[in-house]
Amino acid sequence: MTYRLSALNNYGEKAKRTSKLLVVRLAWKNIGRNKVRSGVILGAIAVGLFAGTFTIAFMTGWIVGTVNSDIETQYSHVQIHNTAFPANNDINAFFIGEDVKDVIDREIASNVSAQVSCRLNLTGMLASPYNAVGVNAKAVRESEERQVSTIWKQIPDSLGSFLPDGSQMAIVISRKIADKLKVKLRSKIVFTFQDVHGDMQSIAFRVCGIYKTSNGMMDDGHVFIQYYDVFDYTGLPPGAVHEAAIRVPDLETCDIVSPQLKNLFPDMDVQNWKEMNPAINMTFVYTDFFGVIIIGIFLLALSFGIINTMLMAVLERTRELGMLGAIGMGKGKIFNMIMFETVFLTIFGGIVGIILGVVFIIPTLKTGIDLTFFMEDYFEDFGFASIVYPVLNAKMLLQIVVLVLLTGILSAIYPARKALKLNPLEAIREE
């Protein structure tokens, strides 16, 4: 008796599994029965997901590129100043650079790779025979600066080099400043600033390099000179600097190192790139959130089309669904069949769209997308690059897949519930 009951239970479980598989197979076959309708839904979903995937990759690349550009050319990962310096760039608000470097080498560089460039920041006037502009002159040691910033990479071969060895009274300016001053490579210009005693100092420099970055706001007012060329004119004590710029391998390491530096230098002003540029940091933090919103908007619009198309499919198949109910298919199975049809269409349309988006994006990962054809260099005036390198990551693609699946499930509920309201006998009688 026990054996018979066990056999009956096993048979019942097998029958249930077979019944579920039949519902799935029937839903799959129904997709191919009306190729035009299924093709329209698949095409709409694919186009929508293609646009969404590309938009997110483009937006992420734009923000990430802007952050990296700011770090590499202007902020570095962390900067250290005398607490009085950020308020008004006071030349008297200095510290001894070697003391700071020794602490960083001992406490930080032993655990992670950390490069330091100690700079003088001098605010003054740069003048040529044709014009004058206000600038911030960064007096640097060339070997240190190359480890921290990439300004030297932004100088074309035809426009000189970055403070070459053995040069004296050399200055690197931006293309914007060169245009304003109407100067070129090897031109002589004069930098005037106020020393620690309040006296005006005027120094003649010769242009050795002309750079151009993707940040027009930086290019408007930053020049680079050699530390030893200007130091004797400042009146500062030996080894004095205004800024220590620190570069670490990546943003994650920066988040670890920054609190450590604040603990090591409690009496100094220590800021990471997020604190120096909170606006771009806020945009960077919310990049993933904005991506979800963008895909959500695309899928919300698509869901109305999916619901409408599947609802029409249910109404067109009233007789068929009624017949299935009449021969014993329960309402739950009919509901599941409509759900599976919609989810299958949504998932496969989404996969096609994502693949198209990835295929289209991959060639641009190295070449970038040049926006100058439509807004020239106006983006750079606001600190954004004109050439955008899209970014693809697994987290973004996973978010898209999850949202597509949720859209398919939610969009299937109403058409499936509509199918449950059909009366089998009335449906069969309809012609």
Q: Which neighbouring-strand residues pair with 124?
A: 135, 193
364 vs 325, residue with greater confidence: 364
Write out pLDDT tens, residues 70-104: 888 888 999 999 999 888 888 999 999 999 999 99
Q: How many residues does the chain have?
A: 431
CA dist 291 → 52, 294, 366 (Å) = 8, 5, 22
119 membership: H or E segment, kind and range: strand 115-127
Domain assignments of the chain as residue spans, ordered by start:
19-68+285-429, 78-247
Residues with Cβ within 8 Å of residue 141, at least 6 apart in sequence: 117, 118, 226, 227
52 vs 170, residue with greater confidence: 170
Write out pLDDT tens, residues 208-238: 999 998 877 788 889 999 999 999 999 999 9
Residues with Cβ within 8 Å of residue 23, at least 6 apart in sequence: 333, 336, 337, 340
Radius of gyration of the chain (CA): 33
Write out pLDDT tens, residues 340-391: 878 888 888 888 888 888 888 888 888 888 777 665 566 665 666 677 888 8
CA dist 164 → 11, 168, 171, 225, 239 (Å) = 85, 9, 10, 11, 22
Whole-angstrom Cα distance, residue 11 to residue 237? 93
Whole-angstrom Cα distance, residue 253 to residue 109? 12
Q: What is the pTM of this model?
A: 0.75
163 in helix, strand or coil?
coil
Taking alpha carbons only, the member of 426, 386, 396 closest to residue 65 is: 386
Which amino acid would we find at residue 419? A
Whole-angstrom Cα distance, residue 337 to residue 359? 33
Residues with Cβ within 8 Å of residue 148, at least 6 apart in sequence: 76, 115, 116, 117, 245, 246, 247
Write out pLDDT tens, residues 1-21: 444 445 434 444 544 555 667
- As given in the structure block, the two tokens for residue 74 are 């202007």
